[in-house]
Chain A
Amino acid sequence: MRETRKVARLHAILWGIFSLGGMIAAFLLPVMIYLTGIAYPLGLWPFNGSRDPSFLVTGTLLGMLFVFVTVAGSLFHGIFRFQSALTEVGLLRLKRGLEAVGYLIIFVGIVLLAYYLLVLNPSLPAL
């Protein structure tokens, strides 16, 4: 009984993070994709040649936090939802394996992201 309660609590926490990641992906990811993947390489507003997206990573603490929250939240949400979608198209018998691979990608991805951000900002920039 206690085991079931523990599993249910973990399940609820993971779904809570998934929902938070969904909000982050909906509110923050579009502007991040626009800034880094479209506006900068094509020279569109707001990049006028004076700055580039690396400023988001090392320019200010707020930018660094924005990158971490947006990328980590979107990665969690995207992988969690995608592995769940795969179980609905005939891969239900591989559910455990898909979950294991999914959580591994999420874990390694978020740890690497945090490590890279800290390496690139040895002394945290001002807010």
Chain B
Amino acid sequence: MTENKSFPELRRKLNPGWWTANRHYVQYMVREWTSLFVALFSLVYIYGLSLWVTGSRSAFLNLLKNPATIAFSFIALVFTLYHAVTWFYLLGQVVPIKIGKTTSKPWQALVANLILMLIVSYLVIWLLVLR
């Protein structure tokens, strides 16, 4: 479709530090970079499974008990929770729910989804560990 345009597409040139111009851009960029920790945790977990498959179960468990892994897990948890909070808020902005004459606000979606996340987390723990 773009190739058929008879006029040039003019894009504003941005320098790499454009996102430091104001607080909203910084928040946006921090939100995007939290995804690095989401991906890294997944890769560490896959690496742990590789240790188990090629070595032993204790190699996998030792990786989890390594102080560096524990420190990384704390950081990853903070960033993942930040991802969750911003994602739930975004959901409220993108898909507001209309009930009668009122439309839901983003903070309401955030609160509802956070409560749902706590319920889901407890269900996971109950089903997979406590049961």
Interface residues of A (CB under 8 A from B): 4, 22-23, 25-38, 40-42, 46-47, 51-57, 59-60, 62-63, 66-67, 71-72, 74-75, 77-82, 84-85, 88-90, 105, 109, 112-113, 116-117, 119-120
User: Which residues on the A side are within 8 Å of B61 (C-beta)?
Assistant: 40, 52-54
Q: For the complex, is B105 an interface residue (Cβ under 8 Å from A)?
A: no
Q: For the complex, is B112 an interface residue (Cβ under 8 Å from A)?
A: no
Whose C-beta in chain A lies nearest to the C-beta of B69? A37
Number of interchain pairs (Cβ within 8 Å): 162
State whether A116 touches B41 (Cβ < 8 A).
no
State whether B77 touches A33 (Cβ < 8 A).
yes
Q: Which of B1, B46, B76 contacts A33 (CB 8 A)?
A: B76
> 1/0 per position for B18-53, CB-CB distance to A under 8 A?
010000000001001101111111110110011011
State whether B53 touches A119 (Cβ < 8 A).
yes
Query: Which of A40, A59, A85 neighbours the largest number of chain B CB atoms within 10 Å of its CB?
Result: A85
